Amino acid sequence: MHSDFSGLSKLDAVAKVMNEKPGIVVNVDDIIERLFGQLSLAEYKAEKARIKDVMNRGQGRGLWRQAAEPLSFIVDEAETSNMIANGRKGPAKTATRGTRTKRG
């Protein structure tokens, strides 16, 4: 990865790229270019699979959402503004599962 992203996990590096462009559709190829620059074909294919996985994990965590174009994602401007204002790295987490009770 470029030095701009040294010390960051791949998910955090992608989140940084996505949050630089709130409200703009970003393609996986654009993210690879920003993180790594030019890659050989073999490196590109390997990295594309990894970045697709990272994008799906980020989407599952609510960091961005799938755009209409294939392999493209978007961060909502309003959510990015809220994250900055509240000092958060990602959107507020909401409970999606019921609470467990102890069986006795």
Residue extents of the structural domains in the chain: 3-86
CA distances from 15 to 40, 43, 75, 89, 92 (A): 24, 21, 9, 8, 15
Looking at residue 17, its pLDDT comes to: 93
- Tens digits of per-residue pLDDT, 52-84? 999 999 999 999 999 988 899 999 875 544 444
Averaged pLDDT score across all residues of the chain: 81
Q: How far apart are CA 81 and CA 7, in angstroms?
A: 25
Range in 1-5, 49-53, 62-66, 83-87 with the lowest mean pLDDT: 83-87
Pairing status of strand 26-27 against strand 72-74: antiparallel
- Confidence category of residue 103, pLDDT binned at 50, 70, 90: low
**Mean pLDDT of the region 28-34:** 95
CA distances from 29 to 15, 33, 56, 80, 89 (A): 15, 6, 15, 22, 23
Looking at residue 96, its pLDDT comes to: 43
**Mean pLDDT of the region 33-50:** 95
CATH number belonging to domain 3-86: 1.10.10
- Confidence category of residue 2, pLDDT binned at 50, 70, 90: confident
pTM value? 0.70
CA distances from 72 to 6, 20, 39, 95, 99 (A): 24, 15, 20, 27, 34
